[in-house]
Structure 1
Amino acid sequence: MTALRIGFVLEGLALGGCPINALDLARELRAQGHHVVVMAIDEQVRVSVVPYAEQSGFELVRIPAGAGLVGRARHLRRIAREHDLDVLHVFASWLGRSAVLACGLSSRVPVVLNWLMDNEFTTTARTSLVVGTGGLHREAVAVHGSRSYLLEPPVDLARDRPDDEAGRRFRTEHGLGADELVLVLVSRIDALSPEQAAHGVPKLPGILLAMDALLAPGAPAARLVLVGDGSGMEQVAERAAEVNRLLGREAVVLTGALADPHPAYAAADVGLAMGGSALRVMAHGRPLLVLGDRGFSRIFSPETVEQFLADGYYGTVAPADPVANLLAQLDLLREEGERRRLGAWGRDHVRARHGLEAGADHLAAIYRESLAHEDAWWQRLADLGYLTGRDVLGRLSRRAGPLRALRGATS
C-alpha cells in the first residue's frame, strides 16, 4: 500500500495530553513507513512540548501565533507544498478553517481532530472530523455527516507499562515510604479564563479537590503527588503549603513538570487523572480514579466503563458533596487486593482499545477514505467562500461590539 505524506499541526507548544498523543501517533505512522512533518502554532509557554518532540525524532515547524486565519492558511499551504503532503491534519477544531483554506482546490485533504468534551463544528461537512468518544461521534454523525470518525486517544504501551523498579526509585527520590498510600496526579496545571474553559478541559478544579479531600475528617493518611506545571501553579503551590501546614506533614508533594512522568505513574497506588493521563494510569496497571470539573470523581471499573467510553475520561456532573464523594471513592480503594484487581482490569482495557499501533492503523485508514472522496472543484470553492465569509463576518461583529458599547455609554 502506498505510503502517505502527512502534516500534523499542533495548536501550540504547551506540553499536554493532546500534543503527546499526536506525537506518539506521528512517531508510529513514521515507523509504518509514512512521511510525517509536525507543525505547531508558536507561543510562549511555561512547559514546552519541544523536548518531547525532539525525543520522538521531530523538529517542530513553527507557525506565527498572530498570523490570523488567512495568514495561518498561507503558512500551512507553503509547508504542504514543500513536503508534497497528501493530508493536513490539525489537532484543534479552531484550526479547521485554516486547514481547509490551506488545501484550497488541491487534491490534498484537511482533517480536523477534536478531543475536547464538546463538539465544535468549524468546517463544512466535506471536511473529515475526528472525535474521541462514542457520544461525540454519534452527535457528529447527526450534525456533521458521514465524514465523522471516532479515534479514541492512544497510549504507547511499550513506554507506559508497569515498572516496579522505576516506582521504587521515584518513591525513594521523593521521600515516599514503601508502606504509604500514594496518590499520583499528572497533569498540566493551568488556570483557564471563562472563555478558555468553554473550549478546553478545566483541570485545576480536580487538582484543588484532591488536596481539599486530604483535610476532611476520616481522610486516609495518604501522600498526594502532583506532577506538572502551568499558569495555575502559584495557586496550587499556595494551597499545597496550606494543606501541609494544617496537617503538620508533607501530605502534598509537588515535583514540577517531568520530561518522563513514567516513574511517577509506576510509583502510584492510585492514579487520579483525566483525559490522556487516565489512559497512562491504566497502562501502568494502576487503579484509576477519574477527576473532572464541578467536583466530579468516579472510579473507572467494569461498572462505570460504558459511561466513560461515551463521555470520555472526565465528568462534569456535580455531586452534592464533592469532598465526601471523593473520599467515598478512595475508601473503595483502601484494600490492596481491590487496587490490584482494578489495576489489572484497566491495563487489559487499554491494551484492547487504546493501543498506539492500532490507533495509527485506524488513522491511516481515515486518511485513505478521506482521500477517496472526489469532491468537485466547485464544491471546494464553495467551502472556501463560505468559511472566508464566516471569518469576515466574525471580525466585523467583533469590531462592532466595542462601538455599540461606546454608543450606549454616550447616549
Structure 2
Amino acid sequence: MSLAKTVLVQLSSLALGGTQINAVDFAMAVEDYGYRSVLFGPVDTLPPGGPSLLDVASARGVKIETYQRARGVLIKGAEELEQRARSIAADIIHVYGADAEPRTAFWGPCRWGRRPFIHTVYEMFVEPDTYQHTSLIIGTGYLQEELRNRPGPTTLISPPVDVASDAPNGDLAEQFRSGLNHLGKHLIVIVSRLDKWMKAYPVETAIRAMTYLADYDATLVVVGTGTEEARLIELGRRVNRSAAKTLVHFHGAMADPGPAYAGADILLGMGGSGARSLAFGRPLVVQGEWGTSELFCPESSKSLFRRSFWSAEPQLDAPENLADLLKDLIDSPEQREELGRFGREFAVKSFNLDAMSRQLASVYEQSFKRYGRLAWLRDVHREVPELADSMRRRMDPARYRRCPAGEA
C-alpha cells in the first residue's frame, strides 16, 4: 500500500459551525482512502466561553493546531502558511469556507501550482472573485447549474452526515429529555448558531410561532449560542410571560447536539442542521433565511435537497405559517413517524459520510492532474492589484496605520 498523502486543511473559524464540523468529519473519514489531514484554525476565532470546534475534533480523534492570523498583510500570511505546509510535508492544500482567506494559500504553499489547491464553499452562493481554476467543492445543487461554465473543476459533494452515529437512539433521547421534564410533552428543537447573518430571523420566527401554540403541550428548545443570543432570550421570556408557561427554552451550546436531535419530537433546521435532523428519524420543518417554513416530505424533498434546505424567499405571516405546520405534526403521531422514517432513508442515501468521503478522496486524487503551474497562472491576473497593495503595506506599515481608510 502506498504511503498516505498529507492534506493541510485551512479552517476559517474554530467556533461551532456546519462547514467547520464538516471539515473535521471529512478529515476523520478520508484516512480510509489514504489521506492524512492536518487542520489549522485561527486562535482568535475561538469563542470566549463554552464548547468550540476543538471539542468536536477531540471527540472524533482529530487534532487541530491553532495559529495567530497575520491580519491585513497578505504576504506575511502566505509565508506563515507556506512554513506550515513545509513542516508537515503537505501534498495538498484544502481551504474550507468562503471567508477562509484563500489568497494565503494561493500565494503561499500553492504558489506556481506547486501543490493542488482545493476550495470548499458550503455557503449558499459563491463570490465572483473566487478562484476560477482551482478544484471547487460545493454542497448546493443549484450552484452546480450556475457554475457550469466555470473553467476549473466543480464538484457537488453534499455536507456529510455520519449516519452510523447520527441515528434514532432511545438512550440519547432519554439523556436529553430527562433534564427537561419541566417542559411540554412535545419538544420542538432547533439547533443553530444564534448569529444575525442568516440564522437569527428563523429562530425569532420559531419563538413567535409558539405564541400560537399556547394551548398545546409543547415547548420550543433552542440549542446554540451567538451574537443575537441575548436579544432572542429576551424575546423568549416575553413569550413565556404572556402565556404564563414555558413555551420557549434556551439550552445553550452543545459540542455534540446529538442528544438534542434524538430527543426531539419535531426538528426545525436549515442547511447542514437540516440534513443531520433527517438522520435521526424525526420530522423536519425546513426554515428559510427570511421566514419560510416547509415540511420535508416526499413531495418537497427534491426541491429542498437542491436548495440545501434553505431559502432566501420572504414569507408573509411567517410565525402563523410555521405554527400551522407544527400543530398538524403535533396532532398526528402517525404522520410524524412516517415522515421520520422517510427522512432517515433519505439521509442515508444522500448524505452518508462514507460515500461523501469517497467522493472527496477522488477530488484529491484528480487534483494532482488538474492543478499545476498553468492553472495557477490563469488566476494570477486577478491578484495583481491586491498583491501590490499588500507589498506596499508591508514595506511601510506605519503609513497605512496613519492614513484613513481609502486614502492609502
Does the alignment reach a TM-score above 0.5? yes
Q: Does 2:65 match 1:64?
A: no
Provide, for residues 272-298 of structure 1, a one-character-per-residue CA deviation record: whole Å limited to 9, x for no partner: 111111122111100111112221111
CA separation of 1:378 and 1:18: change in aligned 2, threshold 3 A = closer
Matching residue within 159, 177, 180 for 1:171: 177
5+ residue gaps in structure 1?
Answer: 192-196, 405-411
Tell me the equivalent position of 1:310. 306
Deviation (angstroms), 1:267: 0.9
Contact 1:206 / 1:295 at 8 angstroms: preserved in 2? yes
CA separation of 1:78 and 1:318: change in aligned 2, threshold 3 A = same
CA distance in 2, matches of 1:351, 1:378: 40
Deviation (angstroms), 1:57: 2.1
CA separation of 1:138 and 1:400: change in aligned 2, threshold 3 A = farther
- Counterpart of 1:340, as a letter, is E
Percent sequence identity over aligned pairs = 30
- Counterpart of 1:64, as a letter, is Q
Tell me the equivalent position of 1:349. 346
Matching residue within 116, 119, 131 for 1:112: 119
**What is the aligned residue count?**
391
Higher relative contact order (CA 8 A, sep 6+): 2
Contact 2:8 / 2:37 at 8 angstroms: preserved in 1? yes
CA distance in 1, matches of 2:287, 2:277: 13
Tell me the equivalent position of 1:301. 297
Deviation (angstroms), 1:13: 1.2
Matching residue within 275, 279, 284 for 1:283: 279
Q: Does 2:157 match 1:151?
A: yes
CA distance in 1, matches of 2:19, 2:256: 16
Provide, for residues 75-115 of structure 1, a one-character-per-residue CA deviation record: whole Å limited to 9, x for no partner: 22111111121211111123222222121125311111111
- Counterpart of 2:90, as a letter, is L
CA distance in 2, matches of 1:241, 1:67: 40
Taking only aligned residues, the RMSD between alpha carbons, in angstroms, comes to 2.4
* TM-score normalised by L of structure 2: 0.89
Deviation (angstroms), 1:382: 5.2
CA distance in 2, matches of 1:131, 1:393: 30
Deviation (angstroms), 1:328: 2.3
Tell me the equivalent position of 1:84. 89
Provide, for residues 367-405 of structure 1, a one-character-per-residue CA deviation record: whole Å limited to 9, x for no partner: 111211264x36534534532434546999x9786549x
Deviation (angstroms), 1:218: 7.4
SS in structure 2 of the partner of residue 22 of structure 1:
helix
Q: Does 2:10 match 1:9?
A: yes
Tell me the equivalent position of 1:45. 47
Tell me the equivalent position of 2:396. none
Deviation (angstroms), 1:138: 1.3
Matching residue within 225, 231, 248 for 1:229: 225
Matching residue within 215, 225, 246 for 2:211: 215
CA distance in 1, matches of 2:311, 2:67: 33
* TM-score normalised by L of structure 1: 0.88
Tell me the equivalent position of 1:409. none
- Counterpart of 1:15, as a letter, is L
How does 1:384-403 map onto structure 2 within 5 Å?
384=380, 386-392=382-388, 402-403=406-407
CA distance in 1, matches of 2:311, 2:353: 24
